[in-house]
Each structure stands twice: as structure tokens, then as C-alpha cells.
Chains A and B, each alone.
Chain A
Amino acid sequence: MVLALFVYPLCYSLVTAFTDKAGAWTLGNFSRAFEFYGKDIGFTVVIILLSTALIGTAAIAIGGYLTLGESPLAVGVLRWIYRWPLFIPFVVAAQCMRTFLAKNGIMNNSLVTLGILTPEQTVGFLDWRGIVITFVWKQLPFVALLVAGAMAALDRTTIEAARNLGAGRLRILIEIVVPQVMPTLMVGLILSFVTMMSVLSVPIMVSGESPTMITVDMAFRINNYGDYGTANALGFISYALTGVAAWIYLKRGIAEGGRP
């Protein structure tokens, strides 16, 4: 069933990306894709890499505080709040952000009310920053949950030993805890990377302007022109980007003794 409904369409998309309308092999779809959407491809890469980096950093920070934090109250509060967006669908997250981050949205209004900003200083965040914020907001709980779980399962004796030798908490986190949870962190980040690569609703709803992400371009190409060649060429580029991410991950795993 997975074969029929996934692998077959996948191969079909690969073939379509390399053929023209008459069925001959061509790279025309790719030249068209780069010509029209080259900027969007770069934009997509930057947005997703930035989001992934932010998610990774924040997930380590949250997991680290949950593991090493000394105040039970603060740890409890954090543990309870960080997971809320976990299962919230992307469409809903996008709708929340669409009104929250707008120039006159709640975020700016709150800052103005608190006296941090004046009404003249407010700017809307509904562009690439909005997309990054939405992605981080939605995907962080997932990665943080995995990382915190892996950290909780660590052998505490090494942590205690380092602490007895006088290492600070930040140093313990970076030098002892993070290297041990690296595999889990990478799996979480790659799954997030792939998910973000195929989200259509967030870029449409949060940022209506150009440049946009290639998912929007693919949908546009099909709904407005019925141009499956170019759309599939863009699709192929999205597979390739994911493939590069997975390849880096696997290579790292092999370098560390063949355990991905």
C-alpha cells in the first residue's frame, strides 16, 4: 500500500521532472524552475536552516533546564508550558500568528501598552520573520520533547561527577549532556526539516508577499498553469535538499562509529 500510494507517485514525480510535455527527456523544467523561482529556492533554504538552528538551540536550552534546573517550581512550570503547541495543526498555528504578529496585532499592542514601544515604532512581522517564528513555535515542542526525554534517560553519575569537580551548569550541558543526546537531537531536527519543507499553509497565510517558499510556487504552478513539469522540478529540488540534510546526518553517524 505504501508502495502503490507513495513510492509510485514519488517515481512518477521524478520522471515528470525530467521530461517535457511531449515525453522527451529534458532539463528544461529545471532551467525554468531556477529562472522563475531561483530566489524562492534560496529563500526557502535560508528560512528552513534558520528555523532548524533556532529550534535546535532552544530545544537544548529547554531540555537542559529541565534536566539541570535547580528550582523545582521553575522546572515544573516550564515542563507544563513548553508542550502546548505540540499537536496544534499548522493551519491553526498560521491563523494564530496571522493576527498575533500583525502590525496592529496583540504582540505589538501589548508592547505598546507596557511602554516598551511607541505606536510609531511598531512593525508587522508578517514576512519571512513571521514564517520562521511560526515554524519555531510549532516545531520546538516536538524536538524539545524528544531531547528532554533523551536527557532524562542519561546516566546521572557523569553529571554528578562533573558537578563535584566544580563544573558550572552551562559547561555540564555543553560538554557532557549535549554530546550524549546528539543522535536524538539530529533525528528530531531532520524530521522537523522535512515537515517544514512540505508545509503549504504557513507561507501562504503568514506571508503573502514575494519572495515566498517553493511549496507555494509548486501549488501556484499547478493550480494556475497545470504545469506539472516545473512543479515536479521544484519538488525534486525539495527532495534533494532533504537528501543533503539526511546525508550529512548519516555521514556524521558513520564518522562516530557507524551508529546513526
Chain B
Amino acid sequence: MSEAVTIKDLSLRIGEAAILDGVNLTMRAGEITALIGRSGSGKSMTALAMMGLAPGAAEISGEIAIEGENVLAMRERARCGLRGRKVAMVFQEPMTALNPLQTIGAQVAETFLAHEKISCAEAMAKAKAALARAGLPPEETPPERRPNELSGGQRQRAVIAIAIAMKPKVIIADEPTTALDVTTQAEILDLLKTLAKEDGSALLLITHDLAVVSHVADRIAVMKDGRIVTDESTDVFYSAAPASLAKEYMPARVRRDNVKPASQETALAAQNMSCDYVNARRAIFDKPSVFRAVKTVSFDIQKGETLGLVGESGCGKSTLARALLGLHPIAEGSAAIGGERFPVKDKAAMRRLRRKIQMVFQDPYSSFNPRQRIADILAEPFHLFDEPMTAPQKRDRAAALIESVGLSTDALDKRPHAFSGGQRQRIAIARALATDPDVIVLDEATSALDIASRNHILELLQSLLSARGLSLLFITHDLSVIRDIADRVMVMKEGRILESGATERIFEAPENDYTRRLIAAAPMIEWREGAGEKND
């Protein structure tokens, strides 16, 4: 295989900060290289540098040769000719990568028009062919559609169609599946792989999640602090990966050492619960239409148990969670926490219930008021206590909380922006623990974190569980997380619970077709003897 890209000694600094520090990487035609690294390790900057799109303030040295031509030495005009024709990029968020005002056909045709002297009609015909190759055949998905008329997966296919339009030598995909559902994720990765092999393009897959690329990549390069620390073929990588790498980039196998005591005390129960969503009205005097997001759902969680709730986005799992917390009205049926039924009108009863159930939200960046200090953030739920607390009491309790999640009390006087995503999620857990609740609902609480932080959070949860006798409702679309932490799993689709049962049973013998599809699509690393155990 010939060399498509050779990166030699690439260094990049912005002001005082060294972002890349002597990166060496070679990609061959038709080969799929996975570039793994935590956020901030420099992987996206490497990609931007390859496109000649590094920020203007950056000082770059070294060499990036694409088929022998050094991108860094080129003038901007030459680079424009290069982009799209020889190097193409697939972005993380397909919604923002597409222009909402243009049809997808026009957006693909644009690439042809920019690089070839052809008529609009010819470009459109070629665009149709490119879309069909990306899995959007014109008879099913007309190229006249606009991005808002497509699903997330279809949008990403359109972005891929733009990228492969000119059969580029190099395709860079920066976290191409992070914004997608599991089932879609697998399809998109397969598509990228097939197209790269067909066209003989070198494909660079950038991700923080090793599991995602383990089946697709030919080679795996690990980046840390602006350097490539490991660069091996996939086979060699898995058999020889050092323990430290496994810990950082592979989903942890949190060992559930506790076969749960047969506590038959129900912590949380839902009975025939239904929730409605009122859609926005189309005009002032229209009657708003109602959408039933949760359809007669019943389940219960025992004390000390972790229940996993799995489903793709839009299946109603977040609405269900909000309803359990009293943030969304329950249309029919009821729920009960520790035997106390709600919804109830009585305010004192609601306060009591609120104390018993708390939540950790998905996005660690929007879950804190940026203007408050951590001490105030943690103290907020205290007002659910019947007796008002004095300032020093609050402070003591906040200090105890922050220490219980493994942060130091220095954190109390800082504001949220001083913390990383993983640390923020710890603070969110501390806040959820503030009222000493019986149940904590985690809504995709680890989805926004990189693998290393995710592993730490899962470990923390595990230790809190055994220490406090908490029950967890763990909502996620990521089966690999569920498998490690949940005692039982519930699968939800279109507002209904399709299947529920013990985690092992669900994974080994799923009864429902949809469950089977979810499991088949989930990225799981083939654990070799030894490799997976090292991180325990």
C-alpha cells in the first residue's frame, strides 16, 4: 500500500501553549487509522493542520505531506484546491456541518462544482450518485430534502457523501458517531470503512472511545499531550496494550462484587405511568397537539439495586426520568418512592418526596449556574430539609459532600468553570447526595465524558452504592456502561418498555428483536485474557 499521508515532526503552538509536540504519523491508502486520545490531547488539532485549517495564531513546524505535497508549505489558494479533492472531513455534529437552507443534493454538488469544470446538471447527477453510495438512494431519500427533514444518521450520511464526493486520498472523521445512537453508530462506521476501502482512501478516525473503533480500525494510534505515544496494528495493540492505556481508553469493567442481599424493600415504583408532551402550536389560536411520550410504564427498583434504562434518543426515557422527579406532569398512573405515592397535591409531602429522589444530568457544562460558587451549588437542596440550617452547618455539610466524591474542600470556593467535565460530574453527584436520597436518577450522566473520566465516575458510583444503600436508575443509550453497572436492565422504545430482566439474561438471551439489535450494534471490545483484567 502506498503512503497517502506522512506527518513528520509536526509541532504546533498557540502563544505559550504547546498543543502538538513532534507528531509523527503515516497513513497508507485504503488503511483505517484510529487516532485515540482524551479531550485536549491534540487529536483534533492534528486533523485541522492536515486540512491546512489550523488557527491563524498557531505557529506550526514540521511537515505534512499528502501524496508528497507539503500542506504546510502551500499557499492558501493551493490548499483550497486540496481540501475536498484530496483531503475531506466528516464532522462530529452533522446538524451544524450542513447548511440548513440548502438541499443535501446541492451541498454535495457544491464540491463537484468547486473542483471540476462541469455544469450544474452534471454536478447534480454526480451528487445523486455520491448520496446513493453513502446510503441515501434518491428513490428513498430525494436529494431535494433539507437537513431538518433527515434523521441524525441520514444527516451524517449526507456529510459523508460530501466527503467522498471527489474520492479523496484522505478522509478525516472527527468523532463521527459521538452524536448518534448506537445502532446508527455501527452503520455509519461500516459505511465509512466500506467507502474508504472501495476508493482506496486513507481514513483517519478520531475518537476518545476505543471500543467504537476496535472492529473497524487497521491501526490504532494513541495521542497524549500532543504526542503519539503508541502506534500499532490493531492486533498487536490489543495483545500488547499496556495496562495504563487500557485504563484510559477502554471502558472499565467495574466488578460488581456484591451479589445483592435479597432486600425486598421497594425504593421506587412506577405503576401504569403515562406522560404527555404538548407540542408547540403552529399558530396562535391552534389547539396544541399532544404527544404521548411515555405509555403505561410499570417497573420497580429495590433498595440498593441499580436499574439500567436503555433506549435510543426520543424513546421517552428522559421524560420518564423527569416525571419521576416531579419535573414533568404524570398524565396517567402514578409512581411511589419508599411507598409514598405521587403525584400528590400536598406540598409538604412533595418536599418529603423530593428529598428522597435526586438527579444527575447529562451535560456537566450546563448543570451548574456559572455565577454560583460550588458551596452554594451544593447547599441548594438543603432547603428541602424541614429545619433551616445555619451558614456554618451548610458549609460543613457541603465540605463532607465534596469529600465524599473525592474532591478537596478547596473546591467549595471555586466556580464551576474551574473544573473539568469529569470533576463537574463528581460535583453533580455530590449535589444529588445532598439530601441523603434513597434514589438517584442518572440521565446519560457519563455520555459527555471521555473514557477515563467515565471509568472514574463509574467507580465512584459503585463505591457510593455499597456505602450508602442507594438505588440508582441509570439511563443511557450506551450498553457497555449498563452492562458493568446495572443489576437489571429495561429496554425502552417509543414510550414502552419492551423487555426487562437481569443484566446477564438480557445480554445473553435477549427476547426482543429490538434488544438483540441494540446489543449487536453496541461497540464491545473483544476482551482478551489479561488485557481487560489489568485495570481492575
Do A and B associate with each other? no
